Structure 1
Amino acid sequence: MAGEHPRADECLLVALTQAQQQQLIKPLLALQLRQAPWLEELFLRHPEFAALRHQLLRVSKQYQGASLVIGPELSKRELTVLDLVAKGYSNLEIAEALYISVHTVKSHARRINTKLGVHRRTQAVAWAKSEGLI
């Protein structure tokens, strides 16, 4: 959003609100690596994110001196589908468990594979296990 600073700030504030509500820190670590001054400026202008800022600072200290690789971000629903795949559920069983259509399950699985850059469900499950997500 180069050149659209107020709009970019609004979008980041929405993202910070969601990160705080869902207790997500990994996406903020990735943003901090790329846009630390911008993120810090917004934290300072919005004290309602003080706890989130402190959590980010605490976690980022753990990664100082280490190479931090931020993987693709999966939505909560995608993580749920991936977890059920890892447990051996079929597409139909996943659809029934989540009250969605089989087509939607397949769409989630396709998006998961695309985000992770894999071709098979087993590869996606292996990645999620190695990242500690499931």
Structure 2
Amino acid sequence: DKIKEIYIGTTMEVRLEGNNFEIKKLNNPIQLILKGKETQWNWDVIPLKSGNQLLSLIVSIVITLPDDIKEKKDYYLFDNPVKVKPNLIYSAQTFIGNYWPHFIAMLVGLFAKEIFNKIKNIKKVKRLYIKKP
């Protein structure tokens, strides 16, 4: 089911797509196919959402027409279902990384409130000692 026959040209493009993934191309998606040489397409894939997700592999033959016009014929090789399990450490790091200014502001606010309350309580204690019956 994972093996499909497609036409091969001298220039091919391969794309990996998925809505809930951050996909970074590690090499050029359009490559020459040379006889007797291996050709690879590589990606770094980071899931953005847990649960059942879908990755699609699209292969295209790139044909150069007169006047250097490029046309593509797409073949959808497969839609691959992927079950993504949550990674709590990565999720926490990403959340804090995205919202660290808010965390700092919250901590400064809590710290300032605590200091203000302590100063207020010290003044109350001093007033108790200063009052004469």
Greater strand share, structure number = 2
Identify the structure with the greater helix proportion: 1
Larger Rg: 2
Q: TM-score, normalised by structure 1?
A: 0.21
